[in-house]
A and B are shown apart, each in its own frame.
Chain A
Amino acid sequence: MSTQQTKDIVVVGAGQAAAQAAQSLRAGGYTGSLTIVGDESALPYQRPPLSKAYMKGDFAEERLYFKPAAWYEDQKIEVLLGTQATGIDRAARQVRLGHGGHLPYDALIIATGSRPRPLPTPGADLEGVHDLRTLADVERLRPKMVAGRRIVIIGAGYIGLEAAAVARQMDLEVTVIEMAPRVLARVTSPVISEFYTAEHRRQGVTILTGALMSKLEGTAGKVSAAVLADGTRIAADMVLAGIGILPNEELARDAGIACSNGILVDRDARTSDPLVFAAGDCASRPLVHYGRTGRLESVHNAIEQGKLAAAAILGQPRPAEDCPWFWSDQYDLKLQIAGLSQDYDTLVVRGDPAARKFAVFYLRNGTLIAVDAVNSPPEFLASKKLIMSGAKLAPDVLSDTSTPMKDIAAQAAA
């Protein structure tokens, strides 16, 4: 596809992937019409601070936005906010809009993100039961987060635990309910799960694992307690659900574009329709360092796929595909994650968890596939490169804290 033939590009969604794609298209020399369609009322903003510094009130709203409003005008990017894209007519190359009308496209980028998995629990529709995904969600929740109040958080994934840390720091009474036998069970090893469980308990959070929800109870339509399957009743002034997200793939699926737990894309973020691309949480992509496909729910992925889609549309060389990376801030702990640890066969701990500064490496057949680094940037940054190079590392070398990580990386690369 050349820029000459491409006169109209539409981006559906207005999150990180959408903002990146628009930015990369303009930076890459695209001068045709460019429209972003977003169903929220805010310009594209960062989501990570919503469950961290922003929730706590340590981060001004204006700092959430990727770009000021003037930038979009200056770049001639039309942003249609509060606007639903309701369908794609692939034959006519048009996106239908909720309030009527349609937008023509020569290339379409679907960056519709994801939505919180709805709580399957009876009582989930009571007032005072919250999700945490959008700026509007935080605006609804934050005024209620007053010292002494009781918050029950359902789900001990990153969102749930980050919110628990913030709520605790705001002096709320915090209970986390997790169905799995340990926290963060879906994403990390027992070593990290145990460390974070201990940390939250030390901070005064009640963590209940292997705990099945029975129902949410309410008084006059407002939530008042969470009841577990074993009959335990936990009084609550508010409930926050953080039990995962679902990809917003319906727009693509309804248009006949291939989906399977996400909109299926190739390495260029191209869907089964060559004129349609998908980027961010909603896309299921080749994970080139792991020989499989999957969805990544992360900033890195949104940025990278935004760039990949823009480059493919402009016929430019494919940007680098980085090793997946993530981070989580809880209390004074910065967790930096490189790679995907699923399927590891060997786990190596470097440093002492009691020192609140350590890393857990994950190996498969002797090859480094991931690291969870707590307050340990060198282990994170070195591992990112080592994972991409497919480096083989001996467990005793990785665990030897007398050798700096930089030297270990240099030796492995040699």
Chain B
Amino acid sequence: MAKITYVAHDGTERTVEAKNGMSVMEVAVNNSIPGIDADCGGACACATCHVYVDEAFLTKTGEQQEMEKSMLDFAENVQPNSRLSCQIKVTDELDGLRVTTPESQH
């Protein structure tokens, strides 16, 4: 289990409980966090679950995978801490994770 805080583009925050094994995207969708569309449901096919990972958690969330990297290359306002949230698996280690959603997924 981990607590994850989602920060919206306007600064609004929500903290939710996340089950291990789910993705950060799935936790967001199950909790109706706005700003994450995730049209493809986590198949890494659509690039609509872009988030910015809090710097403190960058090593724990791991590296961008090759497919993910090339998808993010086409997202708006990409930063070095950009990830597709469908590719981040929840583990105990991620307790306290903060991710920020971008202004738009398209």
Residues of A near any B CB (own CB < 8 A): 46, 48-49, 52, 60, 63, 66-68, 71, 299-300, 303, 320, 325, 327, 329, 334, 336, 375-378, 381-382, 406
Among B22, B32, B73, B74, max chain A CB count under 10 A is at B74
Q: Looking at the assembled complex, report how far the CB atom of A34 sits from the nearest CB atom of chain B, in whole angstroms.
A: 15
Give the residues in chain A near B26, CB-CB below 8 Å: 63
Q: Looking at the assembled complex, report how far the CB atom of A157 sits from the nearest CB atom of chain B, in whole angstroms.
A: 18
**Residue B62 lies at the interface, judged by CB distance under 8 Å to chain A:** no
- Contact of B70 with A378 in the complex, beta carbons under 8 Å: yes
CA distance A303 to B71 in the complex (A): 20
- A48, A60, A66, A67: the one contacting B43 at CB < 8 Å is A48
- Contact of A377 with B39 in the complex, beta carbons under 8 Å: no
19 contacts between A and B (CB under 8 A): A48-B41, A49-B41, A60-B21, A63-B26, A66-B29, A299-B39, A299-B40, A325-B46, A327-B43, A327-B46, A334-B43, A334-B44, A336-B45, A377-B67, A377-B74, A378-B70, A381-B74, A406-B73, A406-B74
Give the residues in chain B near A406, CB-CB below 8 Å: 73-74
- Contact of A377 with B40 in the complex, beta carbons under 8 Å: no
Known: A48-B43, A63-B22, A378-B73. 8 other contacts (CB 8 A): A48-B40, A49-B41, A52-B43, A60-B21, A67-B30, A67-B32, A71-B30, A381-B74
- For B106, the closest partner residue in chain A by CB is A320
- B21, B67, B106: the one contacting A375 at CB < 8 Å is B67
Give the residues in chain B near A303, CB-CB below 8 Å: 39
- Contact of B74 with A334 in the complex, beta carbons under 8 Å: no
Give the residues in chain A near B71, CB-CB below 8 Å: 377, 381
CA distance A22 to B37 in the complex (A): 15
**Residue B47 lies at the interface, judged by CB distance under 8 Å to chain A:** yes
Top-7 shortest CB links A-B? A381-B74, A327-B45, A377-B71, A377-B70, A46-B41, A378-B70, A68-B30
